[in-house]
Amino acid sequence: MKKIFFSAILALVSFSVFAAEVTGTWYGVLKVQGIQLRIVFHITKDGTVYSTTMDSPDQNAKGIPVTETTFEEPVLKLAVPSARIEYEGTLGNDNIITGTFKQGSISVPMNLGRNATEEPKKTVRPQDPVKPYGYQSEDVTFKNEEAGITLAGTLTLPEKSGPFPAVVLISGSGPQNRDCELLGHRPFLVLADHLTKKGIAVLRFDDRGTAASGGNFATATSQDFATDVTAAVNYLKTRKEIDKKKIGLIGHSEGGLIAPMVAAKSKDIHFIVLAAGPGLRGDKMLLLQQQLIGKSAGASAADLARSEADNAKIFDMVLRSTDEEKLKKDIAGYIRNSEDPYKDKSADMSEEEFVSVTVNRVVNPWMLYMLRFDPASVLEKVKCPVLAINGSNDLQVAPKENLEAISKALAKGGNKKVFIEELPGLNHLLQESPTGAPSEYKVIEQTMSPVALNAISNWIQEQVKK
């Protein structure tokens, strides 16, 4: 899903120390698995107490407090236990701190100096289309009569004469604008550009309650978003430029769960594409996601096991619950009595605040629906052609387990018009990636791999010929 779990830079408060020469700003560059992140520490003094804040300019993170700061000349130690981050370095006569940055099991050299090691990098997104596009682009609005809201989006049409086959793009979790903008990337803009140039009309729209679309995002579930997609399809059917018998859906992440919901109920859907879409029931998919991302961030086996046990217990409460207020109380009680390693380390909030935040993250309309929903229940009813793709490095929607579940459900429903493929080296955003860790999403210049773009467009072109 598009919920990003950054592993590299988190923090809380700070105190300690002794030497004035360590105060000021220190710059370093963290180099991990081909990725470079600039790190900046600001050390200040208040009486005999020193405090440190940390910036990660390449992740747009500034002023993050560091939990522990000590300087026993010439050794500087910084730590953020809640993120399992440690830095230790030795201040030399050349005014350079030579040291090591650690997070979990990852340990890499990182030296600090008084001067910025690099100029701020301008975000480069080479795949972003540049005007003039070479096709028609029109801002549109359409009504979801069932929800009583108006949605806003962009329809792109090939330059040639129609009618054209068309697709509706369906975003993943979280409030997304029509370009699915994330960390400087605009994957739906890139995908729409690619498809339109291939002769396929594309409608992409702002999620309800987001950007120019009406409605309330916070109270909506995947089922509600499915009605928005149905409204988009109905709008396309009113346009003379569109071939009404060749309208398809492309869903990314949660959108890959929503597309089958719509296709299972409508004979108007000619084909669907599931890009990094879930096939497992929500609780199982999220447990697997948490393990994969935690492991990539360097979490210990013991912490991962404890986290999995706690989350499995909470998710089971959700699956069994029929009373939302009782569910809140039960989860709160469980968290208070748990050995959650982060509960006592959340120095920026009390235990009760921690409990309240955690309960609210689980007991809300979207999450309750997601945890309980089994995609197989609708995949078994889908009769149109289906393309399901995912990247082998996807840590958010594990490719092997989810693609297998999708394949099994479609086969159980008797659908033989199915093509499923795991694309080597691609992450959840379908970028070419070193490890698939969410922390890589922003620093990778590529928005969507040409392999994924071509896999989608080539398959759609084959479907619309039929």
Lowest-confidence pick of 8-12, 320-324, 379-383, 432-436: 8-12
Peptide bond into 81 cis (omega under 30): no
**pLDDT(155) > 90:** yes
Residue 13 is predicted with a pLDDT of 24
Whole-number Cα distances in Å, 211 to 175, 185, 205 = 9, 17, 10
| Residue 85's pLDDT band (cuts 50, 70, 90) | confident
Residue 369 is predicted with a pLDDT of 97
What residues are paired with 55 via a beta bridge? 40
Packing angle of the helix pair 301-320, 282-296 (nearest 10 deg): 160
CA atoms of 438 and 253, how far apart (whole Å)? 14
For 234-260, the pLDDT digits (tens) are 999 999 999 999 999 999 999 999 999
Nearby residues of 41 by Cβ (< 8 Å), 6 or more positions away: 25, 26, 28, 52, 53, 54, 55, 66, 78, 87, 112
For 427-456, the pLDDT digits (tens) are 999 999 999 998 889 889 999 999 999 999
Scanning the structure block, which residue is given the tokens 């999403």?
Answer: 441
For 182-213, the pLDDT digits (tens) are 888 999 999 999 999 999 999 999 999 999 99
List the one residue out of 272, 174, 266, 187 whose CA is nearest residue 222.
174
| Residue 6's pLDDT band (cuts 50, 70, 90) | very low
Residue 58 is predicted with a pLDDT of 75
The sheet with strand 106-109 has its strands ordered as: 68-72, 75-80, 85-91, 97-103, 106-109
How does the average pLDDT of the chain come out, rounded? 88
